[in-house]
């Protein structure tokens, strides 16, 4: 989604300026055109040569550069931008923007742009907490700027506090979220589940499965990037928490059911990518089970079937992890669970299903239409599922 987008990256003179090189690199690698504007103090901390070599674009630093090829460069950049991102933003630049001051190329560009502006402040914690800085940030927020709050951690002063530049992934996630606001899922609420539920046996053991959560997270992020408001109900995974998504952590199938039931109020679609345990131990031992007899029998009882039990006027999308008769079994599940769509995947293939980054699926709708997709990344599969969701939501609205 960053491909062919023009991102104006503003770098100001905070010690975190070096991290802007990483941001510029990741955005460029994702296919964006990154136009960089640095304040004079930023150039003392990281050179325009470093940044320009990464982005392969001309870095602008001086408003009055006599050799400049564009005489009104701030206007050109302001108009070309799909989004303006300032990372790091110093207290000084934040104050100037709040006051409408345009005394350098960056502040002039921001004043002249109609594109959304994202500010990632980074500074000493006292400067950040100073009421004047907080007032300035609140003013910018009220004017529609997106603020990526700084993180807590070690600061250059040696102290720990709030003021570190947010993680690069958080800043990039916010850029995607802001760019996605005009996407085809804008105004829609999508609930996604992910990961494999864990059913406790005793305080230290559980029954689990091999789901990594990657498919569900890819669906949630793709929906966010297309403008949806997303709630992600997730069983434990080792994936980083996605930005701009309401994340509800759960462990068991019962907890997932409760969280889904709450989240689907006003939802347009529920996409159940989670691998929900079908059985749970009948009783959870209060103390750790000691090793004694040569065999141990656990009595298991059925968990709630979330897709079947959760009711409402939203699209229901299920997954069918199958090891044989993939399409036929998936069609049966679609019927039985009264779904609008089912995504069938063959978990016996090494490059598809659990744990890996790719998936080979068939998307089956209510009318029995089967769309066999080639091997794709999970993100690509997510986009295909959402294409179908958009189509079905459109039909539903037209009825
Ligand atoms: N699912 C659910 N609640 C459960 C079990 C599964 O909502 N207790 C959902 C899954 O998230 C998935 C779909 O139902 O979207 C199908 O899951 P799957 O495990 O393939 O099917 P089951 O109904 O559990 O049938 P079986 O295990 O017998 O194949």
- The verdict on 112 and 160 lying in the same domain is yes
Q: Closest Cα partner for 27 from 80, 83, 67, 65? A: 83
Contact (CB, 8 A) for 157 and 124: yes
Joined together, the tokens standing for residue 286 give 């209060």
pLDDT of res. 347: 82
Residues with CB under 6 A from ligand 1: 253, 272, 274, 276, 278, 303, 305-307, 318-321, 333
Q: Which of 122, 156, 179 is the last residue of a domain?
A: 179
User: C-alpha angle with apex 178: 97 to 134, nearest 5 degrees?
Assistant: 35
Q: Which of 179, 214, 238 is the last residue of a domain?
A: 179
Nearest CA to ligand 1 atom 27: 278
- The verdict on 167 and 290 lying in the same domain is no
Q: Tell me the torsion sign for CA atoms 173, 179, 184, 188.
A: positive
Joined together, the tokens standing for residue 46 give 């990281």
The residue to mutate among 300, 324, 333, having the most atoms of ligand 1 within 8 angstroms of its beta carbon, is 333
Its domain, for residue 150, covers 6-179
pLDDT of res. 50: 97
- The verdict on 225 and 325 lying in the same domain is yes
- The verdict on 242 and 380 lying in the same domain is yes
- The verdict on 56 and 138 lying in the same domain is yes
Contact (CB, 8 A) for 361 and 344: yes
Residue the block writes with tokens 């980074």:
122
Q: Is residue 236 part of a domain?
A: yes
Q: Is residue 148 part of a domain?
A: yes
Does the annotation count 209 as an active-site position? yes
- The verdict on 198 and 126 lying in the same domain is no
Ligand 1 center to residue 349 CA distance, Å?
19
- The verdict on 226 and 322 lying in the same domain is yes
Give the CATH number of the domain where residue 16 resides.
3.40.50.1950
Nearest CA to ligand 1 atom 6: 276
pLDDT of res. 80: 93
Ligand 1 center to residue 336 CA distance, Å?
11
Ligand 1 center to residue 194 CA distance, Å?
12
Q: Is residue 20 part of a domain?
A: yes
pLDDT of res. 67: 47
**CA 216 to CA 80: how far, in whole Å?**
34
Cα radius of gyration rounded to whole Å, the chain: 25
Pairing of strands 358-359, 300-302: unpaired
Consecutive sets of 10 residues in the chain, 399 residues long: mean pLDDT of each? 94 96 98 96 96 94 62 78 97 98 94 96 96 98 97 89 94 94 93 98 96 97 95 97 95 98 97 97 96 94 97 96 91 96 88 82 95 94 97 89
Q: What is the pTM of this model?
A: 0.86
Using DSSP, state whether 391 is helix, strand or coil: helix
Q: Which of 179, 195, 220 is the last residue of a domain?
A: 179
Ligand 1 center to residue 306 CA distance, Å?
8
Joined together, the tokens standing for residue 48 give 């325009």
Q: Is residue 330 part of a domain?
A: yes
State the SS3 of 35-56.
Answer: EEEECHHHHHHCCHHHHHHHHC
Q: Is residue 1 part of a domain?
A: no
- The verdict on 205 and 230 lying in the same domain is yes
Q: How far is CA 140 from the centre of its chain?
A: 23
Using DSSP, state whether 122 is helix, strand or coil: coil
Q: Is residue 273 part of a domain?
A: yes
Tally of domains within the chain: 2
**CA 168 to CA 175: how far, in whole Å?**
11
Annotated catalytic residue within 124, 209, 313, 329: 209
Give the CATH number of the domain where residue 388 resides.
3.40.50.10300
- The verdict on 165 and 192 lying in the same domain is no
- The verdict on 333 and 223 lying in the same domain is yes
- The verdict on 146 and 127 lying in the same domain is yes
- The verdict on 50 and 124 lying in the same domain is yes
The residue to mutate among 277, 278, 312, having the most atoms of ligand 1 within 8 angstroms of its beta carbon, is 278
Ligand 1 center to residue 113 CA distance, Å?
49
């Amino acid at each position: 989604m960053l491909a062919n987008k023009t991102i104006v990256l503003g770098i100001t003179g905070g010690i975190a300026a070096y991290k802007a090189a990483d941001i510029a690199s990741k955005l460029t690698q994702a296919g964006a055109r990154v136009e960089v504007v640095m304040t004079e103090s930023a150039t003392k901390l990281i050179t325009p040569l470093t940044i320009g070599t990464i982005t392969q674009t001309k870095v602008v630093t001086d408003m009055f550069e006599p050799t400049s090829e564009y005489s009104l460069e701030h206007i050109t950049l302001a108009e070309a931008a799909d989004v303006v991102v300032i990372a790091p933003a110093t207290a000084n630049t934040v104050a100037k923007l709040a006051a409408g001051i345009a005394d350098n190329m960056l502040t002039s560009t921001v004043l002249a742009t109609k594109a959304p502006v994202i500010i990632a402040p980074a500074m000493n914690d006292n400067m950040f907490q100073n009421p004047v800085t907080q007032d300035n940030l609140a003013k910018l927020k009220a004017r529609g700027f997106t603020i990526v709050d700084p993180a807590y951690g070690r600061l250059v002063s040696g102290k720990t506090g709030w003021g570190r530049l947010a993680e690069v992934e958080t800043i990039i996630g916010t850029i995607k979220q802001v760019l996605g606001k005009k996407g085809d899922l804008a105004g829609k609420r999508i609930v996604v589940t992910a990961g494999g539920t864990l059913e406790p046996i005793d305080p230290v053991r559980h029954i689990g499965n091999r789901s990594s959560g990657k498919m569900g997270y890819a669906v949630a992020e793709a929906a966010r990037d297309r403008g949806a408001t997303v709630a992600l109900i997730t069983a434990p995974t080792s994936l980083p928490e996605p930005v701009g998504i309401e994340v509800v952590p759960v462990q068991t199938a019962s907890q997932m059911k409760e969280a889904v039931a709450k989240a689907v109020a006003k939802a347009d679609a529920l996409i159940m990518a989670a691998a929900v345990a079908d059985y749970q131990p009948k009783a959870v031992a209060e103390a750790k089970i000691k090793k004694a007899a040569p065999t141990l029998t656990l009595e298991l009882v059925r968990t709630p079937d979330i897709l079947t039990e959760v009711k409402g006027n939203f699209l229901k999308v299920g997954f069918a992890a199958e090891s044989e008769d993939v399409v036929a079994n998936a069609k049966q599940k679609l019927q039985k669970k009264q779904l609008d769509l089912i995504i069938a995947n063959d978990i016996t293939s090494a490059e598809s299903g659990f744990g890996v980054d790719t998936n080979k699926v068939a998307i089956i709708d209510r009318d029995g239409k089967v769309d066999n997709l080639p091997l794709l990344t999970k993100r690509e599969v997510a986009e295909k599922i959402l294409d179908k969701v958009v189509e079905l939501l459109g039909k539903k609205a037209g009825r």
